[in-house]
Amino acid sequence: MMQGIGRVIRRALSRRQPARMLRVAGVLLGWLSLAGPLPAWAANLKDIQVSNGAQQSTVTLSFDGKPAYAFFPLHNPERVVIDVNQSGVISGLPLEFSGQNLVKRIRTSTPKDAQSIRLVVELTGKTRTRTTTQQNGALSSVVFTLSGQGSSSISRSVPAAPVRSKPPANNPFDSNKVTAVTSGSTSTRAASPTTASDRIVVAIDAGHGGQDPGAIGPSGLKEKNVTIAIARKLREKLSRDPMFRPVLTRDGDYFISVMGRSDVARKQGASMLVSIHADAAPNRSASGASVWVLSNRRANSEMANWLEQHEKQSELLGGAGDLLANNADDPYLSQAVLDLQFGHSQRVGYDVAVKVLRELQHVGSLHKRRPEHASLGVLRSPDIPSLLVETGFISNRTEERLLGSSAYQDKIAQAIYGGLRTYFLAHPYQTGPKVENRPLSASAAGSAAEPVVHGTSSKKANVHVVKRGETLSGIAQSYGLSATALSQYNHLKKPGVWTGQRLKIPAGSGSAASTASSRPARHKVVRGDTLSAIAAHYGVSMNAIKRANRLKSGEVQLGQTLIIP
């Protein structure tokens, strides 16, 4: 998703004020030559790439020759110091991150001598650091792999097998020895994830608690006791599935504010938030379960609040936090990122709600057969798809008795689990460290717009951006390839693909598909669609859709057909 956001932002910024691209793209390193040329043996640092994850991160230094470097750890606070043999002065650092992943900050420090530069990688906790060297012709890379496990011990450098990825794009400022710090969205692949980071984190929110009992049934059953019981059963089911890692916003009889519940989910790196409640109504005959998602009006008001809270923006998940933290003075960028985040979260929340309702109808009656939109505070997070499940009416004597039954609670938990599993099997999330995505530098952005060059062949390959609902086999078939061939061509370790992933297509494959994809898409508005959600789904801005369809407002109508530019 964030890769798609990055592409939209790059297009918007390039149209609005191209001169600011380098400042938005990230920190620049200027090598200011000192008196006399460098020795012939000195390898120049050409690029720094950062792929930042909660469990594992990589910092890659790319050189135009064989580098001479050394590194060592320091503690309290945790950091890794890297000395590189190269004369010059670094300008433009430090590079700040959100503090939610392993790498907190990259800065310079006083070098050990006049022939060296010193980089300091500040960390959020203890790590193990491992280095590998990679050779690609005359170019060399040193990859520092930081793993958040155990103590901060350092292993020896181990040469890696030669890589076959394309060399970094030529820098148009090379005459001034200027390079750009880029994100993990480069030819260097992210490190292999650990088992924990492979899982989809689901935050389970048991409604009410402590001094807030919630609704109380005719026989005295309290909503807070029903919700925590179902939440624990759901946690147990998700824990047994290797696809998920469940976390509870509360695991006892205590009160958490509405804002605090979404904050707990964010700190745990949740990809989904499910809030569990029991309904009540003056009409004691009201019955059935329902599922609620955030209304468009509440989403707009929440987005306005987030735009005003600059200090909170850095907490956003999925790379948006670091993007906004490094560009806090750009209101256009903030609005674009938050708009896409809210749109994506609303779309995913609605789609998961549909799956959960289909499972709940096998347990008991439904009060609402479609997801309903409401202005609910617990669904307020722009970066976490959220839904609220009303498990039944505790004010109804029959349903109160059911909701107090452990067997019925288990059925409700099973239905929610079934809906989550059905959705994520069809829409797998990226299984790996969450990359700190930023817009690329001017040189890298220009390179990214071109077809990817594979190996040393002069033929250019196509790039296919995975859309929601697509599968590896379906994509391969559309280009006249086998799934195995496409997987091997992209060095995929697993058969799944995720929305926004970029796949290289061998040159000469699928010309018809390429032509078809260049034509504007059309989208028919269905119940629950919003303009922001549609824009996020297709990876375009709301303004682009409004211009293409000559819309005067951000409202869309049921059954309306929209041109997607």
pLDDT at 128 over 60: yes
Q: SS3 of 197, please?
A: helix
pLDDT-derived band at 549 (thresholds 50, 70, 90) equals confident
| pLDDT one-digit tens code per residue, 236-250 | 999 988 889 999 988
| pLDDT one-digit tens code per residue, 258-301 | 777 877 887 888 888 898 999 888 888 899 999 988 765 544 44
Q: For residues 186 and 301, what is the distance between their CA atoms, to the nearest angstrom? A: 36
Best-predicted range by mean pLDDT among 24-28, 344-348, 486-490? 486-490
Sheet containing 386-393, strands listed edge to edge, beginning at the edge strand earlier in sequence: 244-248, 200-206, 272-279, 386-393, 290-294, 372-374
Query: What are the residues whose beta carbons fall under 8 Å from the beta carbon of 338, sequence distance 6 or more?
Result: 303, 306, 307, 313, 320, 382
Q: SS3 of 38, please?
A: coil
pLDDT at 504 over 50: yes
Q: For residues 394 and 281, what is the distance between their CA atoms, to the nearest angstrom? A: 9
Q: For residues 177 and 63, what is the distance between their CA atoms, to the nearest angstrom? A: 12
- Pairing relation of β-strands 158-159 and 69-74? unpaired
Q: For residues 458 and 166, what is the distance between their CA atoms, to the nearest angstrom? A: 12
Token pair in block for residue 351: 């789609």
pLDDT at 186: 30
Question: Within 13 Å and on the Cβ side, how many CA atoms surround 142?
Answer: 23
pLDDT-derived band at 394 (thresholds 50, 70, 90) equals very high
| pLDDT one-digit tens code per residue, 481-494 | 777 778 878 877 66
| pLDDT one-digit tens code per residue, 428-483 | 664 333 333 333 232 233 333 333 333 333 344 577 877 766 777 778 777 777 77
Please state, rounded to an integer, the average pLDDT across all residues of the chain: 69
DSSP, res 507: T
Token pair in block for residue 465: 């951006």
pLDDT at 330 over 90: no
Name residue, tokens 């650091």. Answer: 129
- Ramachandran region of residue 197, left (φ > 0), alpha (ψ -120 to 50) or beta? alpha
pLDDT at 178: 35
pLDDT at 402 over 70: yes
In this prediction, what percent of the chain has a pLDDT beyond 70? 61
**Side chain identity at 415, as an amino acid letter?**
A
Burial of 407 (0-12, 13-18, 19+ CB in 10 A): exposed
Per-residue CA distances from 334 to 22, 313, 434 (Å): 17, 9, 20
Burial of 34 (0-12, 13-18, 19+ CB in 10 A): exposed
Name residue, tokens 């391969």. Answer: 476
The partner residues of 374 in beta bridges, in order of sequence, read 294
Contact present, 51 and 430 (Cβ < 8 Å): no
Question: Where do the domains of the chain lie, and which CATH numbers do they carry?
Answer: 27-182 (2.60.40.3500), 195-426 (3.40.630.40), 451-517 (3.10.350.10), 521-564 (3.10.350.10)
Mean pLDDT of the 194-211 span: 77
Closest CA to 233 of 417, 419, 422: 417
